[in-house]
Amino acid sequence: MSSAVAASCTHPLDLTKVRMQTLPSLPGAKRPSTFSVIRATVAESGVRSLYTGLTASLLRQMSYSLVRLGSYESMKEHLSKDGRPSSGKLLLAAMAAGGMGGIAGNPADILLVRMTSDSIRPPEKRYNYSNAITGLVTLVKSEDVRGLFRGLGTNTTRAVLMNQESRYDLFKTMLLQHRVPVLDYQFRDNLALHMAASTLAGTVATTVCSPADVMRSRLMSAVCTKSNPVEVLKTSLSTEGPRFLFKGWTPAFIRLGPNTIFMFVFLEQLKNGWRSIFPT
């Protein structure tokens, strides 16, 4: 639930990121900026256009984020039985949890990519999914069950590299233990610490995951006719150069920090509310 609420707040940036990643680059054309994509999206049918594909995003949170966060917390609790686990163990736990989440959320990711990028495709090539449920049914009917696993390799790689939870824990611990030399400031466990740790974790995660994220979006949206990741990579590199691997970095970065903060704040509030209802 906390992930779903957070995703609802940052969905317009997620939509912008996917559209920037899947927009074809024309020779000599200026690369679209984050704000130009947002303006073009709003011009379609108003502010509502920014929330195209929201149902797929919510389905993704109920699969990918549910498995990722739930399994990471379980592993972290198990590793903490003999004291505070090392950063290496938390990193491995986050990678394993991310991989499981990537597999569980792959169908929803396909729907999210297709629904958010549908309007920039030629009319005859659009999927026209009205919502996530009908899109899921249509996907299975048109591409068989194998269609649910399109782009699974790159999606799982991205999920493994994300490590949002372990990086957040690592930066939070570092900021609490050391003063910031430039500012001569010592963080305390408050909102300022949460925002700083989220920003640092988001910067690293966005940069590391960008190549796999772009590849995932292109494979799932079928921008390239070939579904082989190697062929897609070769084609994109030859036509656009290596810069294509970081398309959509800015909205992805802007989204990840607030998304992390919203998610963990809502999660703590939901936990407190649950404990007040069920004290035992």
Render pLDDT for 58-104 as a digit per residue (tens, 0 to 9).
Answer: 999 999 999 998 898 899 889 988 888 887 888 889 899 999 999 99
pTM above 0.85, yes or no: no
Q: What is the C-alpha to C-alpha distance for residues 280 and 277, in angstroms, rounded to an integer?
A: 9
Tokens for 48? 């509502």
For residue 135, what pLDDT band results from cuts at 50, 70 and 90? very high
Question: What is the predicted pLDDT for the residue at 51?
Answer: 95
Render pLDDT for 145-173 as a digit per residue (tens, 0 to 9).
Answer: 988 999 899 899 988 888 767 777 788 88
Render pLDDT for 178-226 as a digit per residue (tens, 0 to 9).
Answer: 877 666 678 887 777 877 887 788 788 888 888 888 988 888 886 445 5
Q: Is 148 in contact with 141 (CB distance < 8 Å)?
A: no
Q: Which domains does the chain possess?
A: 2-277 (1.50.40.10)
Question: What is the predicted pLDDT for the residue at 86?
Answer: 84
Q: What is the C-alpha to C-alpha distance for residues 20 and 169, in angstroms, rounded to an integer?
A: 30
Instruction: Write 120-127 long-range contacts (CB < 8 A, 24+).
Output: 120/19, 120/22, 120/23, 121/221
